[in-house]
Amino acid sequence: MKRIFVSTFALMLMFSVGAFAQTATNPAPKTAPLKWATENIDMGKIPQGTPASATFKFTNNGKEPVALKTVQPGCGCTTSDYTKEPVAPGKSGYVKATYNAMAMGSYNKSVTVTTDGGDVTVLIIHGEVVAKPAAAPAKN
């Protein structure tokens, strides 16, 4: 009986030492290939009822071509246009966000960009919608 106990204890000790001997490996963090000039644009004050656009530019700093898989505005009041073809290494592309400024007041809108490699970037446009200036009366 003593022999079984000692054998079991020795076996357990071997497995526990082996578990502690393993080292955790932390791979180097993956860097996104797209380098954005900015991810946040202040559009300032825009007149009500006048759509306003902002263009976000990026450069592919990776070693492979990158395609924008999805470009999704955060709401129906914002539309987007973007570089449709894959962007070669060292080349540039864009995402254009257009806000339909119907409601008065400040706004903060997003456009979520996902690449074919799975990288996600959230672009932000913000500003304030102000009353449209009154039209000057016609001269007789």
pLDDT digits (tens, 9 = 90+) for 82-127: 999 999 999 999 999 999 999 899 999 999 999 999 999 999 999 9
Q: Quick one: the chain helix, strand, coil %, rounded to 5?
A: 15, 45, 40
CA dist 115 and 133 (Å) reads 41
pLDDT digits (tens, 9 = 90+) for 6-54: 555 554 555 555 544 455 566 655 678 999 999 999 999 999 999 999 9
CA dist 58 and 22 (Å) reads 41
| CATH top class, domain 34-130 | mainly beta
**What's the full length of the chain, in residues?**
140
Of 118, 74, 121, 73, whose CA–CA distance to 93 is shortest? 121
Domain boundaries, the chain: 34-130
Neighbours of 19 (CB within 10 A): 8
